[in-house]
């Protein structure tokens, strides 16, 4: 996802967001486990380290290629760990409220490692 993307016009996780605890890999249109594995660079690792400023922003799978926007679930749960997101908040280009789940949101996984575990398990079955 490019650094000049719109952040999330939906302002909430979409119905098939992988960050939603009640969604599975089969709920994600055109799900690709290899691509999901590569997205781990967007989030902190097992030691809580990363990502780096130039690492990608986790794009919503509802966005179109070349017109990507950030996943609202990712923003709300781990977006604060991405240096580029912190920069956007500090410069007023992204409201700080985007870094917390909104009222009435579904339950979300707290980290991408849990999301990946769920997605990997669904593809093994």
Check: CB of residue 72 under 8 Å from CB of residue 99: no
| Structure confidence at residue 61 (pLDDT) | 83
Q: Which two tokens stand for residue 51?
A: 């990502």
The tally of domains found in the chain comes to 1
Residue 108 domain-assigned? yes
| Structure confidence at residue 124 (pLDDT) | 66
Average pLDDT along the chain? 88
| Structure confidence at residue 5 (pLDDT) | 41
| Structure confidence at residue 86 (pLDDT) | 95
Q: Phi and psi dihedrals of 88, rounded to 5?
A: -60, -40
Residue 70 domain-assigned? yes
Residue 6 domain-assigned? no
| Structure confidence at residue 67 (pLDDT) | 85
Residue 57 per-residue DSSP state: P
| Structure confidence at residue 125 (pLDDT) | 56
Give the global pTM: 0.88
Residue range of the domain that includes 87: 25-124
Residue 29 domain-assigned? yes
Give the chain's residues under pLDDT 50.
Answer: 1-5
- The pLDDT tens digits for 30-40 are 888 998 999 99
CA–CA separation, 99 and 36 (whole Å) = 21
């Amino acid at each position: 996802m490019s650094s000049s993307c719109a952040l999330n016009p939906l302002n909430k996780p979409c119905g098939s967001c992988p960050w939603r605890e009640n969604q599975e890999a089969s709920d994600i249109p055109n799900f690709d486990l290899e691509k999901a594995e590569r997205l781990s660079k967007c989030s902190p690792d097992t030691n809580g380290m990363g990502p780096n400023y130039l690492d990608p922003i986790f794009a919503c799978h509802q966005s179109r290629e070349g017109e990507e926007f950030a996943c609202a679930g990712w923003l709300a749960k781990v977006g604060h760990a991405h240096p580029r997101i912190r920069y956007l908040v500090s410069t007023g280009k992204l409201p700080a409220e985007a870094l917390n789940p909104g009222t009435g949101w579904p339950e979300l996984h707290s980290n991408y490692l849990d999301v990946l575990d769920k997605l990997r398990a669904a593809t093994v079955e």
